[in-house]
Amino acid sequence: MGRRWQRARRAVAGVAVAALASGGLAVAAAAPSAAEQGAASGWTVAGPGGSALSAELGLDADGDLRLAVDRGGAPVLLPGRLGIRTDQHDLTTGLRFTGRTDRTVHESYRMTTGKRLQRSATMREATLTFTGADGARLGVVVRVSTDGVAYRYQLDGPGQVTVEQEASTFEVPTDAKAWVQPYQPSYETERTETTAGAANEAKPATCDGDTCSFGYPTLFAVGGTYVLLTEADVDGRYSGSHLDHQAGSSSYHVALADGAAVTAPGPLATPWRTAIVGGLDTVVGSTLVDDLAPPSQVKDTSWIRPGVDDWSWLSDGNSPGNVDRQKDFVDYAAAHGLEYTLVDAGWQASWVPELVRYARARGVDVLLWFDWNDLRTQAQRDAWLPKVKAWGVAGVKVDYMYSDSQSTFQWYDAILKDTAKLKLMIDFHGATIPRGLQRTWPQVMSVEAVRGEENGQNPTRDIFLAFTRNVVGSMDYTPTWFSRPGRQDTAARELALPVVFESGWTSLGDKPEGFATQPVAEDYLDQLPTTWDETRLVSGGPEQQAAGDRQVVMARRSGDRWFLGGILAGTGDTMKAPLGFLGKGPWLLETVEDTPGADGGGQLRRTVRTVTSADTLTVAAADNGGFAALACPALKGRTDCDEKVVTAPATTLTLDPSSATAAPGTSVAVDARFTLPQGDALHLVHMTVDRGRLPAGWSASGPDVTAGSLPAGKVLDGHWTVTVGKDQPGGTVEVPVWAEYANPAGKGAPPVHVEQVVTVAIPLHGTVYASDQPFLTETNGWGPVERDRSNGETGAQDGGPLTIDGTVYAKGLGMNADARVDIDVQGRCTRFEARVGVDDEVAGQGSVTFTVLGDGRQLAASDVVRGGQPAVELTADVTGVHTLALVVGDGGDGKNFDHADWGLAQLSCAD
């Protein structure tokens, strides 16, 4: 349909346009007469307050509904098909208009993350209703704001709704410049610059014949207007989608994930099909995706704390498995005022609580990585999330979802409810793009969905990301790996990335030794916030400059300070940043740039000068270079923009005793002494036994201890009596005692938490199951050792019942060769017994050996046991043994299918 059709629609829709112009909140059009139904074929939805944007809808003679977008009267999106087909109704053609209502929607809300904390948006909304050939009703809700157009479908029928396909199509002029990303649910493919019609010519792996799939968000340049296509408000009611494009065409069709139907209870409102429209500054500054999302589900957000963390895995891949090395990263975070340290894959439950205590006493909180397979089911989440919360972990990073399916979005719904309830922040890695998620669930600090620093460097990619992926939500890019071997950019460009890219948690990628080589960068990062009051695109764009390079300069304001980041891809050039966004009066401007003539590994230099908003910052950038800057009001006597980094002082909390033995029903007296050896006094000090973390049936008597002020050298004493539960089984229990005081950093930082534990040993007695005891050490050939379940797959608690040759065992251990667990049996037990074999889940495959060790000596061993064989009885005399080891070997033919079960696995111990 051409412009003539669109002009005709404006004439037909004059009454509706007038209703919108009235600005009423909910101006409803009367139901059309039969004559009006036959005449009406086009409708306009104009933007608010004289906005240049409008959406134009029309029905053709076949009853096919189409939508186009104009900006300033010029076409941006050509008429594209609308409609939806369910298993019951085809609402893609043969439609008949039945009515329209209009209203103005105003959204005012506050975010915990993002390009701007305080949000306000006004959108004009029209709901047009249609009837299909079989009488079924379709609602099409269209919203137009100053920064874009969005529409969704409403299906108001009762009962279950199964959507098979949408007709939703965006029509883009074929000669429009395009920045597209071949679709994969990880969103880690490279974007390329092309045209809307020629997007398939690179023949990405996501093509099927003449049709190729592209991921959101996708950017187009139509004349002087940019259009960023994406979607908003997706949850478990629906699936995610992507764009399918046929070679040479102007059509980008919305395709549901995996081509699968989605099923939801009616009435159903689909996700918003969203086009952010305007100049580059409008696109970059747009909050439309969040504006379209549901309001926050978390009323109290005081516990949600964005911040900077040091992340050891990128630069030191083995470090997450080494508690001493992780303490180096904690120490670095503490010294530089970073809020967090992130412990990635390889951590052990045996030492994480100790690391958390070490970190929190230094004013640093710990974030903990999880494979989503360990949190996939409700039982897994119920086992792990309260546990890590009790350890004191502040948030989790969950990885490897890699799906846009409806079932995966239902999983997102579930884990978001769980983490909100427990007050755990969360970062999704190996994840889908944000679609307004951070407004609805403000504990989401960041989302990967990007080919970031860990996937190799591509300076051009980084330019594209500023105008595509990072527009729609926080992006976990993990920048600043200065010591990276063979780095392809300069140090100044690397420093600019955490300003150019917004993320609620910014994970710095280098190790302490690497940061130490760039002290100027360290000073800048010490000042870096991760929440912003304002974001501005200062200069640049995704297109190549005349000099052959691409550039972007971004400015973000926190309080009265502006942080600037500029990056360049390609041949070195002069980068210009007009400073018109600064307020009145003089400003101090600190600029960090590469030393002239230095290569990518050179040192950085910082210069300070006074500027005004009329000035332009110019930086001579090297190849793939850049700069970072910081501006603040030039107050009298001020020589720089730095705010002092305040760290937690060293304190001492000692417990007497640090360990004890107590039988069920008996008590332990616990004395605590908390001191500040030197420094300024602590304030609002509070010390207690953490009664909420004692096992059921335990109790603690004695008062909490407080002090409004605790000067250096003064001791705060506490005394409690802890009583062991009468039904407490044998083993060890840690009794936590902590002291908290007001964080000297201020600015809403949480109290500094200093904690120690009394390890109470409860003598083993009677029948004791190995699966109920803590492991001193644990290794396993495939996933974790499972308690009372088979080995299953790589996730924790993902196995089935322990089953050997058809016999099910309620208790026991599931392992995979080669494997070993060590258990403290206190020298109190006399006999170990188990029924061992290969679990039925491997269908007769696998071969293993079982060995029992006592204090390093072999006490019992099996021959090779194969899949499909009956269980073998294995017994051992463990009299006097303190450390019992249960070991599984691979039977001599590798570990494949070696799912080894220790059925029952019980000890007979003294009464």
Written as one string, the DSSP assignment of 186-202 is T--SPPEEEETTTGGGG
Written as one string, the DSSP assignment of 439-476 is HHSTTEEEE--S--GGG---HHHHHHHHTTGGGGS-B-
**Sign of torsion over alpha carbons 778, 360, 503, 619:** negative
d(CA 767, CA 773): 12
Is the distance from CB of 431 to CB of 403 less than 8 angstroms?
no
Pairing label, strands 829-838, 857-861 = unpaired
d(CA 713, CA 707): 14
873 is catalytic: no
Per DSSP, the three-state class of 251 is strand
Is the distance from CB of 304 to CB of 442 less than 8 angstroms?
yes
Identified catalytic residue from 454, 734, 824, 855: 454
d(CA 774, CA 730): 11
In terms of Cβ atoms closer than 10 Å to its own Cβ (0-12, 13-18, 19+), residue 37 is middle
Is the distance from CB of 226 to CB of 280 less than 8 angstroms?
yes
Helix axes 378-391, 352-360, angle to 10 degrees: 40
Lookup: tokens for 762: 């409860």
Rounding to the nearest 10 degrees, give the CA dihedral for residues 770, 776, 780, 784. 70
Helix axes 14-21, 3-12, angle to 10 degrees: 70
Which of 419, 465, 456 has the alpha carbon at shortest distance from 440? 419
In terms of Cβ atoms closer than 10 Å to its own Cβ (0-12, 13-18, 19+), residue 808 is exposed
Identified catalytic residue from 310, 399, 427, 523: 399
CA distance readout (Å), 378 to 399, 649, 798: 17, 40, 11
**Beta-ladder partners of 736:** 757
839 is catalytic: no
Helix axes 519-527, 491-500, angle to 10 degrees: 10
Which of 499, 511, 486 has the alpha carbon at shortest distance from 314? 511
Written as one string, the DSSP assignment of 817-841 is SSEEEEEE-TT-EEEEEEEEEE-GG
d(CA 628, CA 644): 19
Amino acid identity for residue 102 in this structure: D
**Strand ranges (E), 181-292:** 192-195, 207-208, 211-214, 218-222, 225-232, 241-246, 251-256, 262-265, 268-269, 272-278
Pairing label, strands 218-222, 225-232 = antiparallel
**Beta-ladder partners of 608:** 590
In terms of Cβ atoms closer than 10 Å to its own Cβ (0-12, 13-18, 19+), residue 47 is buried
**Beta-ladder partners of 723:** 667, 699
CA distance readout (Å), 692 to 238, 389, 682, 697: 39, 12, 25, 11
Is the distance from CB of 236 to CB of 254 less than 8 angstroms?
no
CA distance readout (Å), 819 to 217, 328, 848, 882, 895: 45, 30, 10, 20, 10
d(CA 577, CA 564): 9
Which residues 6+ apart lie within 8 Å of 112 measured at CB? Answer: 301, 304, 306, 438, 442, 443, 504, 531
Is the distance from CB of 365 to CB of 753 less than 8 angstroms?
no
Q: Which residues are catalytic?
A: 399, 454
